[in-house]
C-alpha cells in the first residue's frame, strides 16, 4: 500500500503571553525523507506564535513545491463540546462557525500578547451572561464574566465539561479526566491553547484553500486512503502527545522529545500501511450515528483515540 504522506509535522502549541523558548513553549517537529529517502527529524522552537505560523506556512509551501503531502498535527482541541456554537447563537452552529468567531475576536500580537481572557469572558457573556462555562484567569483579568476560580457547579444547561473524544481517552487509559477546554488558566490547562490555536489553524487552512483537508470535519470520520487525499496537499488533525511514548535523549527538552516521538510514530505507521485506519472510529463508535454526527459537525476527535 502506498503511503498517505511524505512528511509529518507535529506542533506543540503554547498560549504564553511573552516570547518564550525551551520548556513549555511552541515546538514543531518535522519528520520527512532526506536525499537518501530515509526518515529524518528536525525540530524548531519559535519564540512566538506568529513565528510559528510563518514557519508552518513556509514548510507547507516547500512541500507543495515538491509535490509532497503533509500531515499536520496540533496538540489542542479543534472543536468545542457539542452545543457550544448554538449557545453562542452562531449563524453556522458547527466547527466552522466557531473557527470564524474565534478568528474575528482573538487578537494575538507578534510579541505573544493576546486577549484570550477577554475572548473567554465574551463567550461566557454570550452563552450564559455569567462567569461560566469558561473559568480561570489572573486576578488582573477577572471581571463579571470570568473568574479566577472554578464555578461551584457546571450546570446541565451548559455544553458538556468534555468532548466525546476526551471521555473516550479517559475510558481507554483509565487515568484521571483530561483538563476541560473551559479552564483557561492554571497548570496543565488546555483551554487557552485552543482559543489562540484555532484561529492560527484557520489561517493556515485559508492559505491552502481547497488543498487543505481538516480531519474529521471535511474528510469525514473514517479511514483514509491515498485516493481520498489525491487533491490535498495537507491534512490537519488534532493529536495527543500521549500517542507515542517519548524518551528524551541526554540534554533533550521533554517537549522536543514528544514531538519527535509522535512524528516518527505516525511516519512508521504510514510506512507499514497502517496510518489510514487511525483516522477511523472503532466499529462500536461507527455504529453510533449520533456520536459520528457530533464529531463530524462540531467536536472533532483526537487521532488515535
* Residue-level pLDDT, tens digit, the chain, 305 residues: 589 999 999 999 999 999 999 999 999 999 998 877 899 999 999 999 999 999 999 999 999 999 999 999 999 999 999 999 999 999 999 999 999 999 999 999 999 999 999 999 999 999 999 999 999 999 999 999 999 999 988 888 899 999 999 999 886 665 655 789 999 998 888 999 999 999 999 999 999 999 999 999 999 999 999 999 999 999 999 999 889 999 999 999 999 999 999 999 999 999 999 999 999 999 999 999 999 999 999 999 999 99
Which pLDDT value is given to residue 176?
A: 55
Strands of the sheet containing 70-74, edge to edge, are 39-44, 27-33, 7-12, 70-74, 234-238, 212-214
- Report the half-sphere exposure of 304 (CA within 13 A, side-chain side): 17
Which pLDDT value is given to residue 152?
A: 87
The total of other beta-carbon atoms located within 10 Å of residue 53's CB is: 20
Which pLDDT value is given to residue 156?
A: 87
Strands (E), the chain: 7-12, 27-33, 39-44, 70-74, 212-214, 234-238
Question: For the CA atoms of the chain, what is the radius of gyration?
Answer: 19
Which pLDDT value is given to residue 134?
A: 97
Q: Go through 249-274 and write b for each residue having 16 or more CB atoms within 10 A of its CB, e for each that does not.
A: eeeebebbbbbbbbbbbbbebbeeee
Length of the chain: 305
Which pLDDT value is given to residue 7?
A: 97
Which pLDDT value is given to residue 242?
A: 87
Which pLDDT value is given to residue 278?
A: 97
Rounded distance between C-alpha atoms, residue 233 and residue 147, angstroms: 42
Which pLDDT value is given to residue 289?
A: 98
DSSP state for residue 297 in the 8-state scheme? I
Which pLDDT value is given to residue 250?
A: 96
Rounded distance between C-alpha atoms, residue 215 and residue 296, angstroms: 8
198 in Cβ contact with 78 (< 8 Å): yes
Q: pLDDT digits over 45-68, tens only?
A: 999 999 999 999 999 999 999 999
Rounded distance between C-alpha atoms, residue 190 and residue 265, angstroms: 23
**pTM for the full model?**
0.95
Which pLDDT value is given to residue 174?
A: 58
Q: Which three cell numbers stand for residue 170?
A: 479517559
Which pLDDT value is given to residue 177?
A: 56
- Residues with Cβ within 8 Å of 204's Cβ and at least 6 positions away in sequence, in order, are 53, 56, 57, 60, 72, 212, 236
Amino acid at each position: 500500500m502506498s503511503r498517505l504522506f511524505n512528511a509529518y509535522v507535529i506542533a506543540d502549541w503554547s498560549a504564553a503571553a511573552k516570547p518564550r523558548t525551551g520548556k513549555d513553549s511552541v515546538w514543531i517537529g518535522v519528520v520527512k525523507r532526506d536525499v537518501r529517502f530515509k526518515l529524518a527529524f528536525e525540530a524548531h522552537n519559535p519564540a512566538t506564535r506568529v513565528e510559528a505560523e510563518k514557519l508552518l506556512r513556509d514548510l507547507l509551501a516547500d512541500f507543495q513545491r515538491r509535490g509532497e503531502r503533509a500531515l499536520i498535527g496540533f496538540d489542542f482541541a479543534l472543536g468545542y463540546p457539542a452545543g457550544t456554537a448554538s449557545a453562542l447563537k452562531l449563524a453556522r452552529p458547527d466547527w466552522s462557525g466557531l473557527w470564524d468567531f474565534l478568528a474575528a475576536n482573538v487578537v494575538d500580537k507578534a510579541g505573544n500578547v493576546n486577549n484570550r481572557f477577554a475572548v473567554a469572558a465574551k463567550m461566557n457573556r454570550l452563552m450564559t451572561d455569567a462567569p461560566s462555562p469558561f473559568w480561570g484567569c489572573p486576578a488582573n483579568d477577572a471581571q463579571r464574566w470570568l473568574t479566577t476560580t472554578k464555578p461551584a457547579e457546571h450546570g446541565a444547561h451548559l455544553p458538556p465539561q468534555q468532548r466525546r473524544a476526551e471521555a473516550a481517552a479517559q475510558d481507554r487509559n483509565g487515568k484521571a479526566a483530561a483538563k476541560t477546554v473551559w479552564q483557561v488558566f492554571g497548570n496543565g490547562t488546555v483551554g487557552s491553547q485552543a482559543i489562540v490555536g484555532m484561529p492560527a489553524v484557520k489561517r493556515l487552512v485559508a492559505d491552502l484553500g481547497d488543498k487543505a483537508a481538516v480531519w474529521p470535519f471535511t474528510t469525514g470520520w473514517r479511514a483514509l486512503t491515498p485516493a481520498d487525499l489525491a487533491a490535498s496537499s495537507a491534512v490537519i488533525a488534532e493529536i495527543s502527545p500521549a500517542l507515542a511514548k517519548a524518551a528524551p535523549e541526554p540534554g533533550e527538552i521533554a517537549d522536543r522529545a514528544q514531538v519527535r516521538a509522535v512524528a516518527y510514530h505516525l511516519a512508521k505507521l504510514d510506512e507499514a500501511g497502517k496510518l489510514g485506519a487511525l483516522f477511523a472510529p472503532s466499529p462500536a463508535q461507527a455504529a453510533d450515528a449520533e456520536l459520528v454526527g457530533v464529531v463530524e459537525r462540531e467536536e472533532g476527535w483526537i487521532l488515535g483515540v
